[in-house]
Amino acid sequence: MVADPVVHVLRAENIVRSFVNGAGVEVRALDGFSFSAEGPQTVAIVGPSGCGKSTFLRLVAGLDEPQAGTVVYDGTATATPSPDRGLVFQDAALFPWLTVYDNIAFGLRARGAFNRERGLVDEYIALMGLAGFERSYPHQLSGGMASRTGLARMFIGNPGLILLDEPLSALDAFTRMGIQDEIVRMQQRERSLIVLVTHDIEEAVYLADRVVIMSARPGHVIGEVGIDLSRPRDRIAEAFVAKRREVMAVLGSTGALGRHDEPILSGQG
Amino acid sequence: MEEKLTDGEPRGAATAVRSSRRAPGPRLPQVREVLLMLLPPVAMVAALSLHEALPNIYPDDYVPVTYAPFLVICLAAYGACFVVACFVPRFRKRFGHYSGLLTVAFLVLEVLDIATLKTGYLRLPFMPSPDKVFYSVTSNVPELLNDFYSSMLLLFTGIVIGAVTGMVSGVLIGWSRICNYWFAPFMKIIGPVPSAAWLPVVMVVFPTSHAASVFLIALAVWFPLTLMVSSSIRSTDKRLIESARVLGASEPYVMFHVAIPAALPSVFTGMFMGLSSSFGALIVAEMLGVKAGLGWYITWASSWAEFAKVYSTVAIFIVIFFTLIELLFKVRDHVMKWQEGTVRW
């Protein structure tokens, strides 16, 4: 595949987004959050529960609007969803009435491109290791296969920006490692910009070129660790473990790790 | 709880392996199964012998014509099924399941025969003998067919109109905030009023009693369908809608390809409730409004104290309603094969 000539740029400045919780109290999910990323690379955002990571992804995806600040992708504000900004939810959110094939073809059909590009469906089914499962319904799939289907459904639109909202957190460790390698491979193939939100520090260090660390609510950036390790990465190499330790240190320095007993904002990762 | 499967293995495949191990191939019936399946014909033969052996004493000079042929036909039909069941294990399982019920049914029928025709313990005109009830059908086929046609025409016109309008209004009330504001209260006020209460009003408002009856039946289907579909669309999983929007789907596309398929289980629940109340509406309309159809025939027969006709027509209604509901279930099972562990009513 030819490298994408366009360098994608995502810039978010001083975002404020608050919600009213069940008790009628206003809770700030994001407060003065700024973030930028560009080019084909993977940026991971880690932080404690309720720090507004998922809220940020929803803003970038165009599913939500900030109360203050701007989110700009390739020069335009992300006010509405676009197939150029792909999003994968935690448990894939597959359409239960569609087969694996039809789930993956959903975007093509919705954009009226199915007749022109139907060959892509089989291509991505093969790429994500889903061959033989085309006619299965989501309830017949294991967690790993459902996750692959969700990723294929997003990758097939060839988005320049890929937003992953804890896509693998419901999987067991072995399945997760397999799909992490799949994501690395797809990123190198499609040359897209990936923003990954995760709880899992090892996952962040394994996948990302940069790890951005957020504070507990109200969320803002408290640090960043560059991961300049070559791929494929060795999860138990000295350098890999050192990077994990570095991320942990930034998280721990603000007391972010010791506050899990706090009630989290419902619906916000 | 289902056993944990390794990644990459769909649950369907595992179940297929397991069940094929259980049933290695067609096998012949066991003795116990055969004995169980022979119980209903024993009951039929017993009923037939008692009917032939005992004298007919009530009413005087009554000559039964249909009861014995009915039993013989049942016996022949059962025999045919029995032969098939011996060689087709899947059919045998379902067929054998009904042995007990069929046996008791034929015994009850013979008890009725003895209580009426053979002893006169149950008196006419309210308790006709089974023979008289069957005869009221066989002697009256053209008229019953005519009324059957008239009833079904009414019922289906109403159901189709009710289902189409119910789907449209359910989707609109569920999807659009404006439609919800203006039409949901209307639906909630009109819906729960039973058909019988509407009857005097619609008879005046509509130009013909046929149109009024169609309206009543359509209303009976429309309300539960609208309610189920609109509430289901309003509570569609938000992540499915957002996933679709992120994949580039327009609002109408999301409505037709996400919200409506997600509401399908409720569509069938609504249709089930709607069908049930449409039957009630049909009977009310025919007994009090239109001058045709099986419901009207029941009223007419009972006014002449012809209770054999009343009972046989009620039985025909039971068969019709049962068949329609079963048909709906079959359609649902086919359409909803994507759903895990289909819910049974």
- The tens digit of pLDDT for each residue in A17-31 reads 888 888 888 888 888
Q: What is the pLDDT of residue B25?
A: 52
On chain A, the residues whose CB falls within 8 A of the CB of B337 are 137
Closest CA to B100 of B23, B145, B43, B150: B43
Q: What is the pLDDT of residue B80?
A: 94
Q: Is B258 helix (H, G, I), strand (E, B) or coil?
A: helix
Nearest neighbour of B10 by CB, restricted to A95, A107, A141: A141
- Cross-strand partners of A46: A198, A213
Nearest neighbour of B247 by CB, restricted to A106, A133, A137: A106
Q: What CA–CA distance (Å, rounded) separates A94 from A105?
A: 12
Q: What is the pLDDT of residue B233?
A: 93
- Cross-strand partners of A197: A45, A165
On chain A, the residues whose CB falls within 8 A of the CB of B264 are 97
CB A161, CB A85: distance < 8 Å: yes
The residue of chain B nearest to residue A141, with distances taken between CA atoms, is B10
CB contact under 8 Å between B339 and A81, yes or no, is: no
Within chain B, residue ranges assigned H as helices are 11-22, 31-53, 67-87, 89-97, 99-113, 130-138, 141-175, 177-190, 195-205, 209-234, 238-246, 251-254, 260-288, 294-303, 307-335
Mean pLDDT of the B78-103 span:
90
Chain B window 244-283: which residues touch A at a Cβ cutoff of 8 Å? Answer: 244-250, 253, 257-258, 261-262, 264
Q: How far is CA B23 from CA A182, B16, B27, B89, B90, in A?
A: 40, 11, 9, 10, 11
Q: Measure in Å the smallest separation between the Cα of A235 and chain B Cα atoms.
A: 22
The residue of chain B nearest to residue A137, with distances taken between CA atoms, is B338
Q: What is the percent of chain B where pLDDT is above 90?
A: 59
Q: What is the percent of chain A where pLDDT is above 90?
A: 25
Mean pLDDT of the A245-250 span:
87
CB contact under 8 Å between B248 and A81, yes or no, is: yes
| Residue A223 dihedral angles phi and psi, to the nearest 5° | 180, 170
Q: Could you read off the pLDDT of A43-79 as tens digits, one per residue?
A: 999 988 777 888 889 999 999 988 888 898 888 888 8
Nearest neighbour of B246 by CB, restricted to A61, A133, A139: A61
Q: Could you read off the pLDDT of A150-191 as tens digits, one per residue?
A: 999 999 988 989 999 988 888 888 888 889 998 988 888 888
Task: Say which residue, A264 or B281, is predicted with more confidence.
Answer: B281
Using the CB atoms, write b or e for A212-228: b if 16+ within 10 Å: bbbbbbbbbebbebebe
Instruction: Give the model's confidence band at B345: pLDDT under 50 very low, under 70 low, under 90 confident, else very high.
Output: very low
Task: Say which residue, B199 or B43, is predicted with more confidence.
Answer: B43
B342 touches chain A (CB under 8 A): no
| Cα dihedral B69→B75→B80→B83 (10° resolution) | -160
Checking if the pLDDT of A268 tops 50, the result is: no
User: Can you read off the two tokens belonging to residue A41?
Assistant: 């690379």
Q: What is the pLDDT of residue B15?
A: 44
Which of A127-141, A248-262, B65-79, B276-290 is predicted most confidently?
B65-79
Which sequence spans correspond to the domains of chain B? 31-138, 141-336
**CATH dotted code for B141-336:** 1.10.3720.10
On chain A, the residues whose CB falls within 8 A of the CB of B338 are 96-99, 137-139
Q: Measure in Å the smallest separation between the Cα of B26 and chain A Cα atoms.
A: 28
Please give the ipTM for the structure prediction.
0.86
Q: Could you read off the pLDDT of B64-73 as tens digits, one per residue?
A: 899 999 999 9
On chain B, the residues whose CB falls within 8 A of the CB of A109 are 257
In a mutagenesis test of the A interface, which of B243, B258, B268, B336 is the best target, namely the one with the most A β-carbons within 10 Å? B243
Q: Measure in Å the smallest separation between the Cα of A188 and chain B Cα atoms.
A: 22
Question: Chains A and B: how many Cβ contacts under 8 Å?
Answer: 97
**Residues B207, B213, B216: CA angle, nearest 5 degrees:** 115
On chain A, the residues whose CB falls within 8 A of the CB of B248 are 81-83, 107, 110-111, 157
Q: How far is CA A150 from CA A60, A141, B213, B239, B288, in A?
A: 19, 12, 50, 12, 58
Checking if the pLDDT of B111 tops 60, the result is: yes
Q: What is the pLDDT of residue B109?
A: 93
What is the value of pTM for the model shown?
Answer: 0.80
Mean pLDDT for all residues in chain B: 86
CB contact under 8 Å between A142 and B5, yes or no, is: yes
Q: Taking an 8 Å Cβ-Cβ cutoff, which residues of chain A contact chain B?
A: 61-63, 81-83, 85-87, 89, 93, 95-99, 106-107, 109-111, 129, 133, 136-145, 153-154, 157, 172, 174-175, 178
On chain B, the residues whose CB falls within 8 A of the CB of A142 are 5-11
Q: State the DSSP code for A14.
A: E
Checking if the pLDDT of A140 tops 50, the result is: yes
On chain A, the residues whose CB falls within 8 A of the CB of B239 are 89, 93
Instruction: Give the model's confidence band at A5: pLDDT under 50 very low, under 70 low, under 90 confident, else very high.
Output: low
> Lowest mean pLDDT: which of A108-112, A191-195, B313-317, B336-340?
B336-340
Q: Which amino acid is at B103?
A: T
Closest CA to A197 of A29, A1, A20: A29
